[in-house]
Structure 1
C-alpha cells in the first residue's frame, strides 16, 4: 500500500472515531449491556454491520436520496425521539428501584437476544443524526475520487469495528467499580438523563 491509500484510510479512521465516539443512546445501551456481559458480541456486530451497510450506501450516493426526501428525517426524528424518551423513562424508573439493581459482570436479570437486538436496532436506525452523518461521510468520501473513496470507506469501517468492540468488550474492565447496587443506580440515572436529553432534543428538532 503506497502513501496515498494509507493516508485516506487513516483519515477515514480518525473521522469515523470522532463521529461514532460521541455520547449517544446507541453507545449508552452498548455500554450497559457490555457491563452486564449479555449478548455483547451480537450487539457489537449489529452496530458495526449497520455502519458498514449505511456508510457503504452513502459512498455509492444513496445519501442523496435522503436529501431528496426531507420527510424521512422528520419520521426518523419523531419515531426516534419518542422511543429514546420511552427508554430513558424506563431506565430512570429502574434507577429509582433498588430491587432492580444489576450485578456487574455475568449475572443479573437476563434479557433475550431478540429483545436486546430489537432495542439496539431501534436506537441505531431511528436516529436521524445517523443519517445526517452518513450524508456528510458519503459526500466527503466521494471527494477522493472513484478509487480513493473506498480507501476512505475502509477507514470508516475500521473505526466502527474498533470503537464498538472496545466499548462492548472493554466495558467489563469497569465491573469492579460497579459491584455495588448504588453504583448501578447512579449509572442508570446518568443513562436516563442522556436518553431523555437526546429524545427531547430530537423532538425539538435538535
Structure 2
C-alpha cells in the first residue's frame, strides 16, 4: 500500500505545477529578486491553511453552498482580467528602466497582490480545499499524513519557483525580454479571467 504521505505529495505536485496567475506572479518576483521570501512564505502559508481546511471538512461545506463559489468566481475573474490589463500596459509601454533597475515595489502592495491572486481564485479552493480535502479523507486515519505530504509539495514548489527564477535574471536583463514576459503574463491572466467568468 502506498504511503498517504507520498500520495499527498504527488497529488499536490500535480495540481500546483499548472501555469496560473499565482505561479506567474511568484516567477516574476523571483526574476526581479524582489520580496521573494515574503511572497514564497505567503503562498506556502495559504496552501497550508487551505489544505488543512479541506482535510477538516470545509470542502464539503463549500460544495454544499455553490453561491459562495459563484461570488468568488466573478470576483476572481474581474481581478485576473484587471491584473492582465496592467501587465499588458507594461508590455506595450515599458518604463525607461528595466524592472530589475527600477525602484522596488512596496512590500505591502506585493503581498496584497499575492494574496489576491491566491484567495480570489476559485480554482485554488477547488484544488486545495475540495479536491485535496476529498483525497485526504479517502486515506482514513492517514489523512493528516496525506496533508503533510501535500503541504511539503507546496513548500518545495514555491521555494524552487521563487528562488530558482533568479537564475533567469540574466536572460531578463533587457527591456525586450520583460515586455515578452509581461505579454505572456497578460495573455495568461486575461484568458484565465475570461474562462473563469464563463465556466
Q: The TM-score by the shorter chain falls in which range?
A: over 0.9
**Cα distance in 2 for residues equivalent to 1:43 and 1:136:** 24
- CA offset at residue 101 of structure 1? 5.4
Paired residues, number: 198
Q: Could you say what the CA RMSD is over the residues aligned between the two structures, in angstroms?
A: 1.3
Structure 2 partner of 1:44: 40
The runs of at least 4 consecutive aligned structure 1 residues that moved more than 3 Å come to none
Structure 1 partner of 2:149: 155
- Match of residue 132, structure 2, among 134, 137, 158: 137
- Match of residue 171, structure 2, among 167, 177, 184: 177
Change (3 A) 1:101 1:67: farther
**Cα distance in 2 for residues equivalent to 1:144 and 1:203:** 34
TM (normalized to structure 1)?
0.92
- CA offset at residue 100 of structure 1? 5.4
**Cα distance in 1 for residues equivalent to 2:191 and 2:182:** 14
- CA offset at residue 109 of structure 1? 3.0
**Cα distance in 1 for residues equivalent to 2:126 and 2:9:** 18
- CA offset at residue 20 of structure 1? 0.5
Structure 2 partner of 1:58: 54
Structure 2 partner of 1:96: 92
TM (normalized to structure 2)?
0.95
